[in-house]
Structure 1
């Protein structure tokens, strides 16, 4: 047996913690999964409970009836606890970044997995996981708060990172830059003056501040106004499936990765 690649995470999880990311995957990439031959989705590092993997399976089955979901965990005890919840199309396996599955996955979800690694290691494991994807496959890697009310994730394909998405409950932050602590490992230490991600969060805070009058109609309206203002100077996705009012109303905002990629000289 191949030794699992990676380190055991804290395992913190909970019901609906990854609902925001699941909802985004189903809405934005459901059509790509439906078009895939025998679509396989891997939930890497699901933690101490099977709950979020089961929820991913349940949500994807609504839009991709034939999808198969495999939860992969590096801790044997966690795999043993999850095994009784297996069913047709849903299974749990011992493993890590090597992805011990029978065929290349159409999508890998890896949440709260890379936070314990250094930035260079995070870039490396992005490459490792991308190399294991099926043609046209996707990696959704991110982090969220313990309740799941604040989350940020990157979507990558075989060529590299493509988009960065912010997602939050409207009452879960005082200003948008509060989401900085959820940035992926490849960006979290780049939130300093001179880096694009710092400039973006600064401008998002400003757009949020000048949109305060819309708050009399609710925080959702303030968010919509702030995103609209921000779109004047940043390439915010503004058309389906990645953007537009339908996604913004959910507390989402997506940018092309190129807009916030780390400065190559830093």
Structure 2
């Protein structure tokens, strides 16, 4: 473990969490990031800012072990009481979660080796845009070669989420995910945009144009509702792909992913205009 010379970097979050809140991003990671997750003998994944309960870190560990049986997962929290809760969970199940650990820390990531993946969810919402960009840079610099940072936000029960995947210090993709039966229109996901975009959902910005077009495609696909909301979503994404560079091939795209209420696009599709 890296010796602690300064206090953890970052701010304490509200800590709100719940079982299955992050299932959408977890299944996306498990499906699309198998390369990094299978790098080396014991690849390390960090769950940064997991909140008041260790439940979502435990779920991440369980889901990733299905695709990478030797992956290690470390939950990192800046609030000591939350770390204590994670350690108490492990003590109550001795030997059951080999490779799962909890540490006190922040953006400095006090782990013994560079992680192949960092999941930072609902962490940067309280920062201003400049600080969020700096956090992207700082976390990206601590990744193993070829590693990925997955940063995003979701609602309290995980029905709406948006996340960005960053590699080599640059945002590469953005993913929109929703519980489609409860979605009125795709632009409702705007409230879950990452900090770097949430204030840019205005005319003249790419993200606004994308969501406006997605709403138009959703309206055009309304007749498909008779076959269910997921079929309507798939048709709306197919229409959106006519005018935007939607990723349409596995592992990021295609009908199998779209039926889950997902759509992934290259970052440049939504990158700030200035």
Aligned residue for 2:62, secondary structure, equals helix
Aligned to 1:242: 252
Aligned to 1:111: 121
Is the contact between residue 108 and residue 138 of structure 1 (CA under 8 Å) also seen in structure 2? yes
Is the contact between residue 150 and residue 172 of structure 1 (CA under 8 Å) also seen in structure 2? no
Aligned to 1:147: 157
Whole-Å separation in 2 of the counterparts to 1:26 and 1:90: 17
Q: Displacement of 1:37 after TM fit?
A: 4.5
- Residue 77 in structure 1 maps to residue 87 in structure 2: no
What is the TM-score with the length of structure 2 in the denominator?
0.95
- Residue 62 in structure 1 maps to residue 72 in structure 2: no
Whole-Å separation in 1 of the counterparts to 2:76 and 2:65: 19
CA separation of 1:36/1:193 partners in 2, compared to 1, >3 Å: closer, same or farther? farther
State the 4+ residue runs in structure 1 displaced beyond 3 angstroms.
none
Q: Displacement of 1:173 after TM fit?
A: 1.6
Aligned to 1:43: 47
**Pairing of 1:179-198 with structure 2 (within 5 A):** 179-198=189-208
Whole-Å separation in 2 of the counterparts to 1:171 and 1:70: 34
Aligned residue for 1:161, secondary structure, equals strand
Q: Structure 1: any 5+ residue segments left out of the alignment? A: none
- Residue 28 in structure 1 maps to residue 32 in structure 2: yes
Q: Displacement of 1:72 after TM fit?
A: 0.1
Is the contact between residue 36 and residue 117 of structure 2 (CA under 8 Å) also seen in structure 1? no
Whole-Å separation in 2 of the counterparts to 1:157 and 1:36: 18
Aligned to 1:205: 215
**Pairing of 1:151-190 with structure 2 (within 5 A):** 151-190=161-200
What is the TM-score with the length of structure 1 in the denominator?
0.98
Aligned to 1:13: 17
Provide, for residues 67-98 of structure 1, a one-character-per-residue CA deviation record: whole Å limited to 9, x for no partner.
00000000001111110223320000000000
Whole-Å separation in 2 of the counterparts to 1:36 and 1:190: 39
Aligned residue for 1:64, secondary structure, equals coil
> Paired residues, what number?
264
Is the contact between residue 44 and residue 110 of structure 1 (CA under 8 Å) also seen in structure 2? yes
Is the contact between residue 155 and residue 161 of structure 1 (CA under 8 Å) also seen in structure 2? yes
Q: Which moved more, 1:8-17 or 1:30-39?
A: 30-39
Aligned residue for 1:223, secondary structure, equals helix
CA separation of 1:41/1:199 partners in 2, compared to 1, >3 Å: closer, same or farther? same
Aligned residue for 1:116, secondary structure, equals coil
**RMSD (CA atoms):** 0.8
Q: Displacement of 1:107 after TM fit?
A: 0.1
Q: Displacement of 1:259 after TM fit?
A: 1.1
Aligned to 2:141: 131
- Residue 226 in structure 1 maps to residue 236 in structure 2: yes
